[in-house]
């Protein structure tokens, strides 16, 4: 069911520092920051030949990543994002199999303007999974 690895997300304590590390020391193509109030995060994307790295920092007071950063003040790997051809069919299959879809269970528009969902990390060997509808 899952397809391409769309991105790996890393929560960072300082977006400007992280962007400078990726752009400078690692010589990567790094986007400008984007605030996503609906998701409670600010993102920067690092564009690699075969996938992307999403650098994340909390935005606003109710950010879903605030607890993660409090527990991991130096930052750390936060989630992996897989593409699926049909996000509703994928969700329904996962629910049938007992996985917990986070939030209200309905897809939200993600950083690339496509529907996304999150699956509870305790149901997938301690890794938070994001599903993104593949671009048509």
Q: Which of 54, 61, 97, 130 is catalytic?
A: 130
Rounded to the nearest whole angstrom, what is the least distance from the CB of residue 107 to ligand LP2KCY5N in the complex? 11
What is the C-alpha to C-alpha distance for residues 46 and 16, in angstroms, rounded to an integer? 13
Residue 130 is among the residues annotated as catalytic for this protein: yes
9 touches Co ion by CB under 5 A:
yes
Residue nearest to ligand LP2KCY5N (CB): 110
State which of positions 64-103 bind ligand LP2KCY5N (CB under 6 A): 64-65, 67-68, 78-79, 81, 102
What is the C-alpha to C-alpha distance for residues 54 and 123, in angstroms, rounded to an integer? 22
# of chain residues touching Co ion (CB under 5 A): 4
Q: Give the number of C-alpha atoms closer than 13 A to the C-alpha of residue 111, restricted to the C-beta side.
A: 24
Whole-Å CA distances, 101 to 53, 70, 110, 128, 131: 23, 23, 15, 11, 10
Rounded to the nearest whole angstrom, what is the least distance from the CB of residue 56 to Co ion in the complex? 7
Out of 22, 43, 44, 55, the residue judged to bind ligand LP2KCY5N by CB under 6 A? 43
Q: Which secondary-structure segment (H or E) carries 89?
A: helix 87-96
Nearest to 91 by CA among 75, 76, 102: 102
What residues are annotated to the active site? 130
Q: Catalog residues that contact ligand LP2KCY5N under the rule CB under 6 A.
A: 9, 36, 39, 41, 43, 54, 56, 64-65, 67-68, 78-79, 81, 102, 110-111, 116, 118, 121, 126-128, 130
């Amino acid at each position: 069911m899952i397809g391409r690895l769309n991105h790996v997300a890393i929560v960072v304590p300082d977006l400007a520092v992280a962007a400078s590390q990726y752009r400078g020391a690692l010589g990567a193509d790094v986007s400008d920051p984007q605030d996503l109030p609906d998701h409670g995060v600010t993102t920067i994307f690092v564009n690699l030949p075969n996938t992307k790295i999403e650098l994340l920092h909390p935005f606003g007071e109710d950010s879903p990543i605030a607890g993660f950063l409090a527990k991991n003040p130096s930052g750390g790997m936060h989630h992996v994002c897989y593409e699926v051809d049909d996000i509703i069919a994928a969700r329904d299959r996962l629910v049938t199999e007992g996985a917990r879809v986070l939030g209200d269970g309905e897809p939200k528009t993600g950083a690339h303007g496509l529907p996304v969902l999150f699956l509870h990390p305790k149901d997938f060997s301690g890794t938070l999974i994001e599903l993104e509808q593949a671009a048509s």
